A and B are shown apart, each in its own frame.
Chain A
């Protein structure tokens, strides 16, 4: 089974700064079946990105995703107050939905 390792575990940044989150897979992720989710306290997760680099409906363009194979990145170009949350990457497919352990983006 593919294991997803997210780094860093937490990130302390100020509003307006750039956030770069990493997700590394233990083996190549086929067809870039890699997604990112955002979760705020007390809320269910929200889909941000799929196919590694496609934004989900309604996601602002300050969010971008990149990568292929085993190395993927979620970038938030300029952090807004509502972006402070936990972010999870996920390898999705027919019979797998493995998540990484998450990166918490905190206000500095």
Chain B
């Protein structure tokens, strides 16, 4: 499974959009991009995933570049409860999620 690179931390003002980037330059054709988040020591929470098209659900939007080498998770209106570590994971046929160190998003009041 391809490796991902994320910034270690980001800040965002409450009510503003949070844009979390992820690089996955070695992604292969059948691998999906998944985003999870972990609030404090709770279980990782699934957010969204995609293959090549942009995706949106009630939590977030996922923008994947045309070459699929990078993606951005967008939380449209961040709240204090969105403060968490966000993990971008590329996963293919093996189905095992390989977590990196993620991005600690701190939403500021």
Q: Do A and B come from one complex?
A: no
B interface vs A, CB < 8 Å? none
Residues of A within 8 A of B (CB): none
